[in-house]
Structures are given as structure tokens and as C-alpha cells.
């Protein structure tokens, strides 16, 4: 089996991928964000997807989407052809698409929304953690994708804070480092301010003493 970053060579599978996405969603009784042939073709030809094949037959697929001007990345549309399921294919595809996302967007947080146990397991192994929706992208366009879901009313009723999908988020180390760096520099700034305050509090009696001394000297020189 081959697991490859997509290219124009894989455009021949796009109809089959779109059809299987639709059929699987119907079988699961869930809605999905609508993916047109044009949209999927663009992902494939731009190299923003991973395709699994075996002897020229399509096996599986997943693609990358970016949100909030590249601050967030989602690995979406994971699908494995029914006859190839339960053989670890989704795990291999997700691993490859995750690696590709990290290469292309090293500072982006990677997230996913899912009701599927398989995806939850795979995401956990990759280091994703469950989070509430406010931790995800707030990009309107992303949330508009939920409009085709049968649970959209629930999402809106809950003011987009939660719904039936579990939200999972991977925060890259460099993001944690950057956030830690920000906290550290804020702490440094505030400790410098308080040190300066302490210093001026320490110096105040000295200044006052010096002033008094000067006044005394002036007074004594005047009296001479
Ligand atoms: C979900 C899907 C992608 C899984 O593909 P797969 O190739 O069969 O998955 P894998 O064999 O790599 O399995 C990964 C893990 O999930 C488990 N798993 C697979 N299918 C499962 C299922 N239907 N229910 C519960 N667990 C499942 C596996 O046992 C494995 O767990 P393990 O690592 O503890 O052994 C595939 O069933 C599919 O295409 N479904 C329809 C589309 C879909 O639901 N996409 C996800 C949208 S969020």
C-alpha cells in the first residue's frame, strides 16, 4: 500500500472519494461539511492532502485546511474505503497528514471535531487533548461548515460552546514555548517594575537625609 502526499496524479480518484464521504455520512446518520469536487480537487492538486492507494485502487484520504490566517490547522475529511477498514489505514493516513501539517505550518495548533472513536484514539496517540470549543478557531467560515450537520441546531442552542462532537487540540511545543516566553517576559517586566519601586522606596530616606544634610549645611554656612 502507498500513502502519499497528493498531487495531480490522484485527481482520478476525486469522484470516488466524494461519493464515499457522502455515503459514509448517510450510513452514520450525521451531516458533514459539504465538499465539492472542485474543492477536493484543489486540495489534491495543491499537495494539501494525503492519499492511500493499493495497486492503483483508491484506499483512503484526508486533507489539510487552515483557519484564522494559519493559526489553526484541521486535518479533515478522513475517509477509508469500506473494504480496507480495520487494518490500520486511517492511522497511517492521519499520521502522514499530521506530519505534513506540522511541516507546512509548524507553529499552528492542530484541531479536529469528531464523534468517532477511531479518530479520537488516533488523535490521542498523536498528542491531541480534548478541549472546549472556545479553544478552537473562531473563524466564521469554519463554523459555517457545521450548517450541513444534523446537529447544527444543538450547536447554535449551546451558543457554539459545545455540541455532540468532541473537540481535540494539539498545541505544538514551540507554541507552548512562545506562550511561556510571553508569560516569562511579562513576569520579568513586572518584577523589574517592583524592583524599581523597591529601589526608589529604599533610596527615598537617603535622598531625604541628603536633602536635610544639604539644608543643614546651607543653614550652617549661612550662620557663619
Ligand atoms: C473512521 C475510519 C476512518 C477508520 O478507518 P480505519 O482504517 O478502519 O481505522 P484504523 O484501522 O486505523 O483504526 C484506528 C483505531 O480505531 C479503532 N476503530 C476503527 N474503526 C472503529 C469503529 N468504527 N469504532 C470504534 N473503533 C474503531 C481501531 O480498532 C483502532 O484502534 P486501536 O489503535 O486501539 O487498535 C473509517 O471507518 C471510515 O472511513 N469511516 C467513515 C468516515 C468517518 O467516520 N470519518 C471520520 C470522520 S471524523
**Residue-wise pLDDT tens digits, 43-90:** 999 999 999 999 999 999 999 999 999 999 999 999 999 999 999 999
Q: Which cell goes with 151? A: 446537529
- Dist CA 122 CA 138 (whole Å): 24
Domain boundaries, the chain: 2-171, 173-224
Q: Residue 66: what pLDDT?
A: 97
Mean pLDDT calculated for residue range 119-135: 97
Nearest CA to ligand 1 atom 18: 118
From residue 83, alpha-carbon distances to 40, 59, 79, 92 in Å are 22, 8, 12, 16
Nearest CA to ligand 1 atom 40: 79
Sign of CA dihedral 113, 115, 119, 125: positive
Judge if the beta carbon of residue 90 lies within 6 A of ligand 1.
Answer: yes
CATH class of this structure's domain 2-171:
alpha beta
Percent of the chain with pLDDT over 90: 67
Q: Residue 119: what pLDDT?
A: 96
Check pLDDT > 50 for residue 220.
no
- Dist CA 2 CA 5 (whole Å): 10
Which residues lie below 8 Å from residue 112, measured CB to CB, with a gap of 6+? 74, 75, 76, 119, 123, 128, 167, 168
Q: Residue 11: what pLDDT?
A: 98
Most confidently predicted of 34-43, 125-134, 147-156: 125-134
* 3-class state of residue 30 by DSSP: coil
Nearest CA to ligand 1 atom 34: 121
Nearest CA to ligand 1 atom 4: 90
Q: How far is the CA of 104 from the centre of ligand 1 (A)?
A: 26
Check pLDDT > 90 for residue 8.
yes
Check pLDDT > 90 for residue 189.
no
Mutational test site, ligand 1, from 26, 118, 126, max ligand atoms within 8 Å of CB: 118
pTM of the entire predicted model: 0.80
HSE value, Cβ hemisphere, 13 Å, CA-based, for 90:
20
Contact 128, 169 (CB under 8 A): yes
Amino acid at each position: 500500500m502507498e500513502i502519499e502526499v497528493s498531487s495531480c496524479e490522484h485527481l482520478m480518484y476525486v469522484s470516488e472519494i466524494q461519493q464515499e464521504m457522502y455515503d459514509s455520512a448517510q450510513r452514520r446518520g450525521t451531516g458533514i461539511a459539504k465538499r465539492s469536487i472542485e474543492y477536493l480537487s484543489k486540495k489534491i492538486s495543491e499537495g494539501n492532502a494525503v492519499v492511500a492507494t493499493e495497486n492503483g485502487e483508491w484506499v483512503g484520504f484526508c486533507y489539510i485546511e487552515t483557519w484564522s490566517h494559519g493559526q489553526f490547522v484541521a486535518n479533515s475529511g478522513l475517509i477509508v474505503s469500506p473494504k480496507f477498514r480495520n487494518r490500520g489505514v486511517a492511522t497511517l493516513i492521519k499520521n502522514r497528514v499530521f506530519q505534513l501539517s506540522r511541516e507546512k505550518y509548524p507553529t499552528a495548533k492542530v484541531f479536529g471535531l469528531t464523534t468517532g472513536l477511531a479518530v479520537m484514539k488516533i488523535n490521542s496517540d498523536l498528542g491531541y487533548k480534548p478541549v472546549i470549543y472556545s479553544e478552537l478557531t473562531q473563524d466564521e467560515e469554519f463554523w459555517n461548515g457545521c450548517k450541513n450537520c444534523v446537529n447544527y441546531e444543538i450547536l447554535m442552542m449551546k451558543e457554539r460552546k459545545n455540541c455532540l462532537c468532541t473537540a481535540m487540540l494539539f498545541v505544538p511545543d514551540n507554541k507552548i514555548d512562545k506562550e511561556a516566553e510571553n508569560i516569562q517576559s511579562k513576569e520579568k517586566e513586572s518584577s523589574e517594575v517592583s524592583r524599581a519601586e523597591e529601589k526608589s522606596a529604599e533610596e527615598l530616606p537617603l535622598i531625604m537625609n541628603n536633602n536635610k544634610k544639604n539644608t543643614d549645611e546651607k543653614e550652617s554656612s549661612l550662620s557663619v
